[in-house]
């Protein structure tokens, strides 16, 4: 078996430190090197442009609202929003709104994952299940989820339940569809290879189909999370109760315009945060993918 020993490439260990041969070269300490590198990572031209684009949009907003150019005549200026934010964000009311919306998202989204992912996996795995479920699924999917609002208010006695149901519905479709797509995208070579290594169906399901579908599942979850936020805001505006969507709508009724903008920003921030959580979970679950 020694014959198989391959000629390994010897690593070139005696590297020449070319830099030290240059006149006037001074050795930096590791900390200095680290510091320089990280500063270069933060203050470079690309980041400068990125910050500039944000600054420009705020300036534009300020100009447009102070000059009262239609349709921005009644839109609050950035300064008004800033002042309102300072007085509103530390209050209990703001905190409760975020907690309520987050709670509804969390519940509805979790239920959507718990039902949607297994359903998608089963549809991709078993043709009988797909034959039974897919036609129903595809005929319900084109109905915009927002149009479910009246029906869900009738269906559930408590508003809380109907909001969670709507969130569930919003997240459910993309999760199922992407999971199904993920299962079907697993390469036939992997399955044939696994069969030829002597695997049984359960090994193929848990060791091939599931990890193979994971990238798609997480894509579905990200898209589903976006729709979950759409649904929670819409449902809260209609059905009421606490929550960010309700707060935003209430501010309109109370003619507290800066708070509308504040509500929008808070919703955006919460949505971004939830997507970041999913992205983080995805990176943890799929260490073989360097980028996700």
Partner 1 sequence: MAKAKEGNVIAKHVSLVYDPLGVNVLAVADCSFEIEAGAFMAIVGPSGCGKTTLLNMIAGFDTPTEGEIWVDGTCIASPTIRLTPGPDRVVVFQHGALFPWRTVLENVCWGPIMQGTMTREEAVEKAREVLKISGLEGCENEYPMNISSGMQRRVEIVRALVNEPKILLLDEPFRALDAMTKSVMHQYLLDLFDATGKTVMFITHDLDEAIYLADRVFVMTTRPGRLKQMIEVDLPRPRNMKTKVTDRYIELRNEALNAVHEEARKAFERGEREMAK
Summarize as ranges the residues that interact with partner 1 (CB under 8 A). Answer: 1-8, 187, 189-190, 192-200, 203, 207-208, 211-212, 214, 286-288, 290
CA distances from 151 to 19, 101, 137, 236 (A): 73, 21, 18, 15
Tell me the two tokens of residue 148: 């479910």
Q: Which of 81, 49, 73, 132 is nearest to 261 (CA)?
A: 81
Q: Which of 230, 96, 236, 250 is nearest to 152 (CA)?
A: 236
Q: Which of 244, 114, 228 is nearest to 179 (CA)?
A: 114
Please report which helix (H) or strand (E) contains residue 228, including its range.
helix 210-239
| Cβ–Cβ < 8 Å for 170, 146 | no
Distance CA 109, CA 167 (A): 7
| Cβ–Cβ < 8 Å for 209, 121 | yes
Residues 188, 203, 109, 289, Cα dihedral to 10°: -60
DSSP per residue over 70-131, as a string? Answer: TT-TTPPPHHHHHHHHHHHTTSHHHHHHHHHHHHHHHHHHHHHHHHHHHHHHHHHH-HHHHH
| Cβ–Cβ < 8 Å for 163, 241 | yes
């Amino acid at each position: 078996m020694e014959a198989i020993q391959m000629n390994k490439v010897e690593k070139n260990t005696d590297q020449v430190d070319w830099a030290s041969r240059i006149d006037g070269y001074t050795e930096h300490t590791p900390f200095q090197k680290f510091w320089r590198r990280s500063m270069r990572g933060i203050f470079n031209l690309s980041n400068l442009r990125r910050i500039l684009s944000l600054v420009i949009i705020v300036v534009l907003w300020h100009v447009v609202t102070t000059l009262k150019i239609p349709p921005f005549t009644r839109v609050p200026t950035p300064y008004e929003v800033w002042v309102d934010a300072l007085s509103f964000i530390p209050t209990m009311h703001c905190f409760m709104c975020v907690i309520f919306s987050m709670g509804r998202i969390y519940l509805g989204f979790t239920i959507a994952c718990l039902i949607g992912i297994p359903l998608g996996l089963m549809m991709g795995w078993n043709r009988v299940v797909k034959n039974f479920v897919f036609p129903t699924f595809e005929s319900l999917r084109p109905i915009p989820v927002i149009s479910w609002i009246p029906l869900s208010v009738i269906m559930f006695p408590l508003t809380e339940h109907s909001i969670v149901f709507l969130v569930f519905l919003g997240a459910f479709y993309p999760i199922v569809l992407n999971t199904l797509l993920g299962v079907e995208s697993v390469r036939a070579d992997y399955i044939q290879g696994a069969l030829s290594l002597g695997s049984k169906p359960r090994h193929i399901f848990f060791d091939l189909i599931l990890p193979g579908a994971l990238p798609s599942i997480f894509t579905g979850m990200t898209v589903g999370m976006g729709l979950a936020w759409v649904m929670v805001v819409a449902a809260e505006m209609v059905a009421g109760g606490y929550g960010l969507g309700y707060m935003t709508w209430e501010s309109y009724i109370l003619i507290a315009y800066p708070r509308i903008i504040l509500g929008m920003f808070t919703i955006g921030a919460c949505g971004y945060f939830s997507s970041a959580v999913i992205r983080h979970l995805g990176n943890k679950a799929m260490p073989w993918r360097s980028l996700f």
